[in-house]
A and B are shown apart, each in its own frame.
Chain A
Amino acid sequence: MTVLEARNISVSIGKARLLQPVDLSLETGTLTAILGPNGAGKSTFLKALLGLIGHGGETKLDGKTLSSLSPSERAKQIAYLPQGQNHAWPLSVEAVVALGRHPHGGQAHDDQGDNVVERVLEAMGLTALRNQSVLTLSGGEQMRVSLARALAVEASFLLADEPLASLDPRYQFEIMSVLANQAKAGKGIVVVMHDLALAARYADRLVLMKDGALLADGAPHEVLIPERVESAFGVRTHLTEVRRVEGSITAALPDRLD
């Protein structure tokens, strides 16, 4: 098991503090969903964790400070899926997925001689689209390509920033089940998302944020209780039974404004 640890990670711009010092320990083999209202600091936290923005505190990967690793060592360990990928050029689907191999010197093959790009294209159902330009794809297809690109890194951790945004329900299920299967296969998956029902269904652990600080952290049935959800989002909730892969839980889900 590998551990990705945020120690006192904080972010300020000028005098405004976007993120209070956060301590959080993330593990492989777990799908962690980060939830919270807009402006809670979820994306900021992911970016700071990876060192994409200036921040206080430090990130440790298996006890080693992230900034002490070389960029390619770090990239081999942690993959990142940004919010709303924008492509500068109409590259082919295959070319974009192959960019995920950059940390490995651009080699499509892994140490076992297996062609990772081919494997990921197939797993994500992109083989038929491989020669198509990414700019001609639908939003759902583009997300599949972006996720395939992130999976091609074969990192221990994947930090995904709102991968479900503007996807239809079918694609939302599809992306979440891919992420859940990755976690089951031993990867550490961290997803920023807004859909509490999907989080309750697929995530192993929920982290609830508000105003740049952690509000709650635990299993879905522990975090999704009426008081917490109501105070975090300012909405009324109702208790619902949510089916999971194994068994089901009772969760407080948003219902109405007051």
Chain B
Amino acid sequence: MRLSASLAVVLLALAALSLAVGTTAFSLDQFLAALTRSDERLALIVYEIRLPRTLLAILIGGSLGLCGAGLQGLVRNPLASPSLFGAPSAAALGAVIMISSGLAGALSFALPVAGMVGALASVGALMLLAGRDAPIIVLLLAGLVLSSFAAAGTSLALNLSPNPFAALEVAFWLLGSLEDRSFQHIAMAGPFIIIGSILIATQARALKVMSLGEDTATSLGVNVQRLRLVLIVGVAMAVGAGVSVAGTIGFIGLVAPHLVRPLVGYDPARLLLPATLAGACLLLAADLLVRLVPTSGEPLKVGVVTALVGAPFFLGLVLRERRALAGRATL
């Protein structure tokens, strides 16, 4: 609990920074004036531009951290994450099909729904393909195939897009960004992200028992089929909805649980809340970095930053787990 409290403090500090930092530079006085709405123009910047962006970062980052912790507990391996299950790419495919085919506008509810359907298809297909007690190598390879397939589908949709400008816009959107998001985006995705996250959180105790393996967990009264279904649906909702408003933001789900796991005694149940908070902190921090790094043209995309930081981190994790991976034939 002390860990979660500390993370919450960090999160609040980052959130305050996120409200204060941006293209328009504020002095402390101006910031306070904006917060208290005594300066209407500045208040508009803080409440209508920076606040939704900040809230979205917390929602999406937090849910990604939670999804990673849940999936890692389910497959009993620290290398699992929504990206490795192909969920974000499949969600992106769902959303891109809706946008490029003109079936839905960028602010329609059809978008998160399509994203969730894509993510559900990919995570569900992976669990089916891999079956029970699949070795991690099978899961990773199957995940790789599914994300490549989804990426190919996305490329095809862009390729065939009748409008090159729309295609370019979609391509940029795919990079993952929280820029210029409004409360309407939060209204679109927020409910699904929150419901998905609650679904995952309800499985905390079952995830802890899964530490002993599927057979022992079943013998202890865990309904493993139901656990799996609830987690898949929860992850698909949270990731699908998140991707459909912010594009693909990778590696938060891998990194966040990993950072806090030793601090909760490796307990998969106690991990969920701190992993959520850590995920929110990471995405907020990455989004702050994006705003602070000067670029000449298009501003840096937050999805690019998380991937740049996350990929080497994942490599390090693989190298550290090398011996365990070689020794452990099955999950």
Query: What is the interface of chain A, defined by CB distance below 8 A to chain B?
Result: 47, 50-52, 70-72, 74-76, 78-80, 82, 85-92, 95-96, 99-100, 102-103, 106, 133, 149, 153
Provide the bound-state CA to CA distance between A203 and B241, in Å: 59
Contacts known (A88-B76, A102-B209); A95 close to B267, Cβ less than 8 A? yes
Q: Which of B77, B215, B223 is most buried by chain A, counting CB atoms within 10 A of its CB?
A: B215
Chain A binding surface, main DSSP class: mixed
Cross-interface CB contact of A99 among B76, B211, B328, cutoff 8 Å? B211
Closest CB of chain B to A163's CB: distance in Å? 13
Contacts known (A82-B215, A82-B216, A88-B211); A102 close to B221, Cβ less than 8 A? yes
B268: chain A residues at CB < 8 Å are 88-89
Q: Are A89 and B266 in contact (CB under 8 A)?
A: yes
Provide the bound-state CA to CA distance between A102 and B215, in Å: 14
Interface residues on B, range: 20 to 34
Q: Please, what's the 1-or-0 string for B100-122, where 1 marks a CB less than 8 Å from any CB in chain A?
A: 00000000000000000000000
B222: chain A residues at CB < 8 Å are 71, 102
B211: chain A residues at CB < 8 Å are 87-89, 91, 96, 99
Provide the bound-state CA to CA distance between A71 and B225, in Å: 12
Q: Are A85 and B212 in contact (CB under 8 A)?
A: yes
A–B Cβ pairs within 8 angstroms, 22 of them = A50-B219, A52-B215, A71-B222, A71-B223, A75-B221, A80-B216, A80-B219, A82-B216, A82-B219, A86-B328, A87-B212, A88-B77, A88-B213, A88-B331, A91-B211, A91-B266, A96-B211, A96-B212, A100-B220, A102-B220, A149-B212, A153-B220
Chain B binding surface, main DSSP class: loop
Q: Are A85 and B266 in contact (CB under 8 A)?
A: no
B205 within 8 A of A: yes
Cross-interface CB contact of B205 among A50, A102, A149, cutoff 8 Å? A102
Closest CB of chain B to A81's CB: distance in Å? 8
B265 within 8 A of A: yes
Contacting A at CB under 8 A, from B197-217, are 205, 208-213, 215-216
Contacts known (A102-B222, A103-B220); A92 close to B265, Cβ less than 8 A? yes
Provide the bound-state CA to CA distance between A71 and B223, in Å: 7
B328: chain A residues at CB < 8 Å are 86
Q: Please, what's the 1-or-0 string for B260-300, where 1 marks a CB less than 8 Å from any CB in chain A?
A: 01000111100000000000000000000000000000000
A76: chain B residues at CB < 8 Å are 221
Which residue of chain B is the closest to A69 with respect to CB atoms?
B221
A47: chain B residues at CB < 8 Å are 215
B161: chain A residues at CB < 8 Å are none
Provide the bound-state CA to CA distance between A95 and B205, in Å: 12
A82: chain B residues at CB < 8 Å are 213, 215-216, 219
Provide the bound-state CA to CA distance between A38 and B261, in Å: 40
Besides A80-B216, A88-B76, A133-B266, 11 new A-B residue pairs in contact (Cβ under 8 A), listed by A number = A52-B215, A74-B221, A75-B219, A76-B221, A78-B219, A89-B211, A89-B261, A91-B211, A95-B267, A96-B212, A99-B208
B30 within 8 A of A: no
